[in-house]
Amino acid sequence: MIQFEKSELLKALPKQFFASLVEKVGAITAEGHDVINLGQGNPDQPTPKHIVQKLQEAAENPVNHKYSPFKGYSYLKEAAAAYYKREHGVDIDPKTEVAILFGGKAGLVELPQCLLNPGDSILVPDPGYPDYWSGVAMAGAKMDYMPLLEENDFLPDYKSLSEDVLEKAKLMFLNYPNNPTGAVATQEFFDETIRLAKKHSICVVHDFAYGAIGFEGRPVSFLQSDGAKDVGIEIYTLSKTYNMAGWRVGFAVGNPSVIEAIELIQDHMYVSLFPAVQEAAAAALLESQDCVEQLVDTYESRRRVLIDGLNEIGWEVTAPKGSFFAWLKVPQGYTSEAFADYLLEHAHVAVAPGIGFGTYGEGYVRTGLLTTEERLREAVDRINQLNLFK
C-alpha cells in the first residue's frame, strides 16, 4: 500500500495540544475511574425545545432539501441584523455587512486566508483560543503575541507593542468575554482599539463567542463603539448562547470588504448551510430569549459553587466576569501541565493546562462550568482531599 505524504501545509499546522488531554482522560476512565471533566469547552445543556421544533418543521419541508444560495438565505442575515439592533443597539445592513458561517471557528480560521499573504503579520492574544493559530498557519502568516496579564485585567496593553510590530500587523484577533481567562472588555478598551487600528490600518476581528454570557451585566460588543465597522468585524456563534455547538452555525458582522472576502472564500469551499438549520438559527435569534437568561443564571450559580468552594478549601481564585470558564492560578511548585496531571491522577478531576493556550497561560489552569453543581461540589471535595492548600 502506498503511503502518501502530507502536504507542506498540513505539516505546518500547529499540533493539537488538547488531544493529549483527551487521551489522558480516556486512559484514566478506561481504568474504571469516574473522571469529573472540567477541561472541556462543550456546552452540556440541550438546545432549547422551540429551536429544535423549528428544525424539525423545516426539515420536513421539501423546499429545504435543495441547495440553498451560496451566501445563505436573506432571512438569516436579516435575523442577525435584528439581533444586533435589539441586543446591542447596532445598525447592520444584512445585504453587505453579514456573512453566514459554518460555526464561529470556520470564520476565524478562514479570515487570515482572506486577508493575509505569506509572511504578513497578525496580532494574537496570549493566552488565546488555539484555533486562531490554525488559520495563521494556513495563510503562511506570522504571529506577534499580545500578552494578557492579570494586572491589566487580561486586556492587551497596546503601549507595550513596538511601533515596528504595529506597523507590520495587518490583522488582530480579540476575544471578550475571553477564553480562557473569563475576562470582559469595556467600551473604552474597544474605543482605544479602534483608534490604534485606524492609525496602523489593522483589521480587527473580535471573536464574540461568549457574547451573551456575562455575570456583571451584558458583555459589550465591539461594534457598539463608533467607527468599529470602519476597521473590522465581529464573529458570533450560536453554539454558546443557544447550546447549538453541534449545529455549526454562526455569522460575521461588520466591515463590508471583509464580509465580501469571507463570502468569496466560502463560495469556493461550501454550498451554504442546510436550509433547515438556517431557519432554526433565525428562530433562535428572533424568538423569546428566556432560554438565554436561564442559561446565564445556570452558569452564574455554577460559578458561585465552584469559586466559593475552592476559596473555602484554601485555593485563592478569582471569579470570571464572563464566559463559562474560570482561570485559576496553580499552586507554587507546579507547572500548569504538571498540576493538571496531578489533579487527574490523584483526584480524577480534569482541567486544561494554561500552557496549551500560549506562553502566558503558564501558571494557570482553565476549568469549565459545564457540569452540574453537584459534580462541581464533588470536584472541590476531591481536590480538598489532596491537602494542597492547607
Could you read off the pLDDT of 144-153 as tens digits, one per residue?
999 999 999 9
40 pLDDT higher than 90: no
Residues in the chain: 390
Q: What is the rounded CA–CA span in Å between residue 305 and residue 36?
A: 15
Report which of 174, 249, 240 is spatially closest to residue 207, judged by C-alpha positions.
Answer: 174
pLDDT of residue 275: 96
> What pLDDT does 63 receive?
92
How many whole angstroms separate alpha carbon 307 and alpha carbon 284?
Answer: 31
- Residue 19, pLDDT score: 81
pLDDT tens-digit map of 297-345: 999 999 999 999 999 999 999 999 999 999 999 999 999 999 999 999 9
Domain 8-47+290-384 matches domain 65-286 at the CATH topology level: no
Percent of the chain with pLDDT over 90: 88
Would you kindly state where each structural domain of the chain is located, as residue ranges? 8-47+290-384, 65-286
Name the average pLDDT for the chain.
Answer: 95
Q: Could you give the angle at which helices 256-267 and 104-115 cross, rounded to 10 degrees? A: 100
What pLDDT does 303 receive? 97
Burial of residue 151, with CB atoms counted within 10 A of its CB: 0-12 exposed, 13-18 middle, 19 or more buried: exposed
User: Is 90 exceeded by the pLDDT of residue 22?
Assistant: no
Domain at 8-47+290-384, CATH class: alpha beta
Report the pLDDT value the prediction gives residue 15, as an integer from 0 to 100: 83
Instruction: Give the distance from CA 248 to its chain's centroid.
Output: 13
- Per-residue model confidence (pLDDT) at position 20: 80
Mean pLDDT of 16-44: 88
For residues 288 and 285, give the distance between their C-alpha atoms in angstroms, rounded to a whole number: 8
pLDDT in tens, 81-101: 999 999 999 999 999 999 999
CA distance linking residue 46 with residue 315, whole number of Å: 32
- Check pLDDT > 80 for residue 366: yes
Classify domain 65-286 at the CATH topology level. Aspartate Aminotransferase; domain 2 (3.40.640)
* Adjacent-strand bridge partners of 143: 122
Lowest mean pLDDT of 16-20, 21-25, 54-58, 232-236, name the range.
16-20
Q: What is the pLDDT of residues 206-243, one digit of tens each?
A: 999 999 999 989 999 999 999 999 999 999 999 999 99
> Does residue 382 contact residue 375 with C-beta atoms inside 8 Å?
no
